[in-house]
Amino acid sequence: MHWSYPVDINVRTERTTVDGPRKDGRVVNSIDRLGTDLSVVGIPGVERFVIDADPNTSIVIRLSPWRGNAQTVQVVVVAGPTPQSRYMDRLLNYLDNRGVLTVVTAALGPTDQRPFVEAGFTPHEHLLLLGRAIKPNDPPPRERRTRPARRQDQDAVLALDKRAFAASSAFWRFDKAALAEAGRATQTCRRRLIKDSHGHPIGHAVTGRTSTIGFLQRLAVNPSNEGQGIGSALVVDALRWLGRSGAREAWVNTQPANLRARDLYLRHGFVERDVGLAVLIRSLADMKQSPDQ
């Protein structure tokens, strides 16, 4: 399968500045020059790295600080093919010169992993990949009501998300920027939550769609509210929205050991794929700093 996943994560499904006007200087035209305009994606520290200015062949790579740590950078190819080795070397040199110590990738399928592996990346996290078809005229029956997650809910959503993923590895823990990015990684996105009787958010979901492909980007339920059908209601809401908005397939990934999430997705018609995804990592410790840095 030749695509990677957009949470935190993908790639070719992400809307990029290449899709829009390119003359406003937000995107640079050469691998040797890099745009550092923080307004590019509205998240501090996020940059676009462009290889080849021709809009038909450009590779655009998003570089973002990993969980707020500027010395660890996530590289996500947001347009064009995964760069082959000579471009990969220049990218790694650039990051090394910038003082980056560790580089992580998005969650990649086997084809997209190859150039990174050739450039010295090794597996960091394996992910299960599950998918299902969406039939627009046959939506799953509605479950518990969900509400839009608004800006004023953000702190409470982040707090519950933190509790839900407290036992997970660092890869799964979201800060404010990661949560914001999850919603920007696709053409359109839906953020929903479920509140308890006191009005406190106890579950939230971020779902994205690019073209006809839907992605369950984030799902978290407050640990003390698990087992009440909240996760299920958010999945159903996501599938119904995807069906209405033109998606024909839905994808989700999860940790192999997260049986609770896996079972939830299986109950909602997802099927586990034989080949999963992998997040790769590379230390830049072996690279020599260039003399001018």
**Which residues would be at the binding site for ligand COA (CB under 6 A)?**
164-165, 219-221, 226-232, 254, 258, 260-261, 263-264
**Is residue 221 packed enough to be buried (19+ CB in 10 Å), middle (13-18) or exposed (0-12)?**
buried
Which residues share a beta bridge with 195? 201
27 vs 238 by CB, closer to ligand COA: 238
Q: What is the DSSP letter of 204?
A: E
Report in angstroms how near the CB of residue 155 gets to ligand COA at its nearest: 18
107 vs 230 by CB, closer to ligand COA: 230
Query: Distance from first CA to last CA of the chain, Å, rounded?
Result: 40
Report in angstroms how near the CB of residue 263 gets to ligand COA at its nearest: 5
In this structure, the number of other CB atoms found within 10 A of the CB of residue 166 comes to 10
Cβ–Cβ under 8 Å, residues 72 and 100? yes
94 φ/ψ angles, rounded to the nearest 5 degrees: -60, -45
Report in angstroms how near the CB of residue 154 gets to ligand COA at its nearest: 18
Report in angstroms how near the CB of residue 14 gets to ligand COA at its nearest: 19
77 vs 164 by CB, closer to ligand COA: 164
188 vs 228 by CB, closer to ligand COA: 228
Give the C-alpha separation, 104 to 279, whole Å: 7
Give the C-alpha separation, 276 to 209, whole Å: 20
Report in angstroms how near the CB of residue 233 gets to ligand COA at its nearest: 7
131 vs 231 by CB, closer to ligand COA: 231
Residues 238, 243, 244: CA angle, nearest 5 degrees: 100
64 vs 254 by CB, closer to ligand COA: 254
Q: Which residue is nearest to ligand COA (CB)?
A: 231
